[in-house]
Structure 1
Amino acid sequence: MKGGGGTLTLHFLMYFFIFFFFLSFVIPRPAFTCGGILSGESGFIGSEGFPGVYPPNSKCTWKITVPEGKVAVLSFRYIDLESDNLCRYDFVDVYNGHTNGQRLGRFCGTFKPGALVANGNKMLVQMISDANTAGNGFIAMFSAAEPHERGDQYCGGRLDKPSGSFKTPNWPDRDYPAGVTCSWHIVAPKNQVIELKFEKFDVERDNYCRYDFVAVFNGGEINDAKRIGKYCGDSPPAPIISERNELLIQFLSDLSLTADGFIGHYKFRPKKLPTTTALATTMSASATATLKPTVALCQQKCRRNGTLESNYCSSNFVITGTVITAVTRSGSLHATISIINVYKEGNLAIQQAGKNLSAKVIVVCKQCPLIRRGLNYIIMGQLEEDGRGRVLPNSFVMSFKTKNQKILNTLKNKQC
């Protein structure tokens, strides 16, 4: 009887799980449509036709509202979109609020992020696909959470007190979890700026910070043209001061290795900036005045001073690339550089067309330093307010050879 009873129990459990699966998944599964307006304590959204292949050339928008006084949380249960390192083709964007909100993240491939938490009770999700689709789309659950009960599984939010701290989930007790996306939006009064310092920092190391990273942006949204820097490894970034009264800090971990994480501190300060930042502002103003080059500036003897190492920290941006266009305007050379690699980005405006990245630079004195179309260069320089690179006679420019990569990779991890 013992053996028979065991068999009956096994059969019962097997049928129970089949029945439970049928009830919990097959029957309630809704027919997902392209976008919608949803409200309540919880619910599901999914790509059009999920779990079938999502349609091409589509743009679907979901507006989610949870009860007042709570924050909206989105948890992806499954995601399978066309894979691309930069999510340029098919992707899902998640935003705070319903209009002009801060983007909490962009996702594609099969990377399933951790829970995404809005600053308030509204969230917007948008999925875009191009002409060539690949995958079954996504399904995600939205829910309402108490702002003060977010706990270690969540991170991010709006910080508007005069000073404060932010840290990775689990800090300092254990490593941050895999598959987490956090965005902290720091907002100071209009007449103040934000000073940011990382006290401890340990994020999975990679030469290009492709896997786990912290990115800091001027303003309140994720915008590569306003990115101050992207950081990983175990060296804390240098202190950062915002241009205006808003900063956005984004932390992302993938699904593989993790590390200790970080804790950072911020404080508001008057717009009258310290000497180092004031110096950068002065350089910017004086260099802008030289965009129409003076005869004296361009009659200086043209020669390269110093080395890669000695010029790296004093330059706003450092790239390697191929000159693809070069046009003379008002005595200056306006060039488009097809980027091979970025070693120091600053606020350099990088354009993207398909898989190719490019940047605009102005060689203020067209003959100094001399660059020619079709050749590869290492270019170091300063920046215009619009994100264009500015190369002066004393900027460091040299022909790029493969052997230079080792030095540049070492400099990229250097703390200036």
Structure 2
Amino acid sequence: MWRACCLFCAWSLLLLTQVCAQSERRPIFTCGGNITGESGVIGSQGYPGVYPPNTKCVWRITVPEEKVVVLSFRTIDLENDNLCRYDYVDVYGGHVSAQRLGRFCGTFKPGSLVSTGNKMLLQMVSDANTAGSGFLAVFSAAHPHERGDQYCGGRLVKPNGTFKTPNWPEKDYPAGVTCSWHIVAPKNQIIEVKFEKFDVERDNYCRYDHVSIFNGAEINDARRIGKYCGDSPPAPVFSEGNQVLIQFLSDLSLTADGFIGHYKFRPKKFSITTTPPPTTTHPVTTRPIPWIRQNYRLKCVCVCVCSALKYSVALCQQKCKRRGTLHSNYCSSNFVITGTVITAMMKGGSMYATVSIINVYKEGNLAIQQAGKTMSTKIIILCKKCPFIRRGLNYIFMGQVDEEGRGKIAPQHFVMAFKTKNQKGLNVLKNKQC
């Protein structure tokens, strides 16, 4: 009996020692810091717990000289927003005045990010509202191009040159890569960018694999000339100044042939004649019109904002009542779906919902995401309690679509609880001419 008791005590002590050792090895993630070495792990403050609100954390990574930093996100869970305006992680290719390699939020994991030198900077910002578990990322030092064609990008300063996706033209570009080409011309010149061959995973909104071209040296949506995907080469692009940034990003799923493009320095007075971009491109025009004066632009912004606010207030003061019939709403709506509300979040005076789709009766320009057999979409209820929806319940949604492909529901649009018996009526509407 005494021997059995001793054996049990010894076994318990060993187990306790192992547990303590494991808990000591688990890293404790703090808000920012300076990190040096060949490799390491970075996590948001308190990971895997919920990251705190209203914080700004900066991590500065330094690897040995003559090497580059390769960063890979293992997990990412931040408040989701199409433009990453609320909670986000910025990654820069250096510590001071460096090119931004990307801004990330939600749960989408980008491909490996590679610096051009031996330094990289991460900055995470959170606002006062929704939070998640944050992020976990690993970094390592690598010799530039040590993995053959997996790495791409760089600084281009010759008067003309070529850029292409990894593996071109032998095989498809790999999944999960980010390439950034920074082209710099002399001060008195501009840059012409032209694609010879182009084949990048197609999507109506270029949300997955895409090429973006920016005026200047960093990724800035306000300075974006265009965002491109599909299999038609974009029209030639001309910069406003002497610098252009071209970024290619592939996600972790489908890939395609890729592209080869060329650039050329041009004098500032060079005559720019371009053809309209194909339907697979989504350019953002940022070129200022010379005759528009600053005060006129400010006045215009003020009028637009005030008008939008007045419209919003007037809209939400209406009685919360559907207008018209099921048939008339079906015909006048951009989209008609049935689905389950899986997330619902208040922002300002509106509710932002994610809907897991049961059936699509009218798609229009609605952006639909698919993972395996599960399809989902984003919907904005313009007036947060009109119509009122609850998470976990099934609804019929009929409404309009905004320029980003999200469904918009106003008080007069048709929304009602969905039951199996409604399916027959919706199928009749689908097959009936408006």
**TM-score range for the pair, normalised by the shorter chain length:** 0.5 to 0.7
2:42 paired with 1:45: yes
* 5+ residue gaps, structure 2: 1-17, 275-287, 297-302, 308-346, 351-399, 404-434
2:224 paired with 1:227: yes
Residues in 2 aligned to 1:24 and 1:176: alpha-carbon distance in whole angstroms: 43
1:54 partner amino acid: Y
Aligned to 2:109: 112
Residues in 2 aligned to 1:252 and 1:188: alpha-carbon distance in whole angstroms: 24
Q: 1:264 to 1:132 in 2, by over 3 A?
A: same
Structure 1 residue 324, shift from structure 2 partner = 5.5
Aligned to 2:256: 259
Residues in 2 aligned to 1:270 and 1:202: alpha-carbon distance in whole angstroms: 30
2:95 paired with 1:98: yes
Structure 1 residue 86, shift from structure 2 partner = 2.3
The partner residue of 1:136 within 124, 133, 142 is 133
Say if 2:72 and 2:139, in contact at 8 Å, map to a contact too.
yes
Aligned to 1:62: 59
Q: Secondary structure at the match of 2:149?
A: coil
Structure 1 residue 325, shift from structure 2 partner = 4.4
Aligned to 2:160: 163
Q: Deviations over 1:39-74 (max 9, x none)?
A: 122212111111222112111100111122222221
Structure 1 residue 24, shift from structure 2 partner = 12
Structure 1 residue 158, shift from structure 2 partner = 1.6
Q: Deviations over 1:388-416 (max 9, x none)?
A: xxxxxxxxxxxxxx89x9xxxxxxxxxxx
Aligned to 2:196: 199
Structure 1 residue 272, shift from structure 2 partner = 3.2
> Higher mean Cα deviation, 148-157 or 133-142?
148-157
2:214 paired with 1:217: yes
Q: Secondary structure at the match of 1:127?
A: strand
Aligned to 1:408: none
2:91 paired with 1:77: no
1:216 partner amino acid: I
Alignment of 1:348-367 (within 5 A): none
Residues in 2 aligned to 1:178 and 1:354: alpha-carbon distance in whole angstroms: 37
Residues in 2 aligned to 1:95 and 1:140: alpha-carbon distance in whole angstroms: 14
2:266 paired with 1:269: yes
Alignment of 1:170-319 (within 5 A): 170-274=167-271, 276=273, 284-285=289-290, 287-288=291-292
Residues in 2 aligned to 1:162 and 1:24: alpha-carbon distance in whole angstroms: 59
Residues in 2 aligned to 1:46 and 1:111: alpha-carbon distance in whole angstroms: 16
Residues in 2 aligned to 1:235 and 1:183: alpha-carbon distance in whole angstroms: 21
Residues in 1 aligned to 2:225 and 2:201: alpha-carbon distance in whole angstroms: 20
Structure 1 residue 87, shift from structure 2 partner = 2.0
Q: 1:264 to 1:275 in 2, by over 3 A?
A: closer
> Higher mean Cα deviation, 257-266 or 117-126?
257-266
2:27 paired with 1:30: yes
> TM-score normalized by structure 1?
0.60
Q: Secondary structure at the match of 1:251?
A: strand
Say if 2:60 and 2:119, in contact at 8 Å, map to a contact too.
yes
Structure 1 residue 173, shift from structure 2 partner = 2.4
Residues in 2 aligned to 1:102 and 1:244: alpha-carbon distance in whole angstroms: 17
Aligned to 2:121: 124
Residues in 1 aligned to 2:265 and 2:34: alpha-carbon distance in whole angstroms: 38
Structure 1 residue 226, shift from structure 2 partner = 1.4
* 5+ residue gaps, structure 1: 1-20, 278-282, 293-321, 327-352, 357-401, 406-416
> Higher mean Cα deviation, 22-31 or 263-272?
22-31
Q: 1:68 to 1:25 in 2, by over 3 A?
A: farther
2:208 partner amino acid: Y
Say if 2:65 and 2:118, in contact at 8 Å, map to a contact too.
yes
1:85 partner amino acid: N
Residues in 2 aligned to 1:219 and 1:115: alpha-carbon distance in whole angstroms: 23
1:199 partner amino acid: E
Aligned to 1:365: none
Could you say what the CA RMSD is over the residues aligned between the two structures, in angstroms?
3.7
Q: Deviations over 1:74-106 (max 9, x none)?
A: 111222222222222221110121122211011
Residues in 2 aligned to 1:274 and 1:23: alpha-carbon distance in whole angstroms: 71
Q: Deviations over 1:313-338 (max 9, x none)?
A: xxxxxxxxx96647xxxxxxxxxxxx
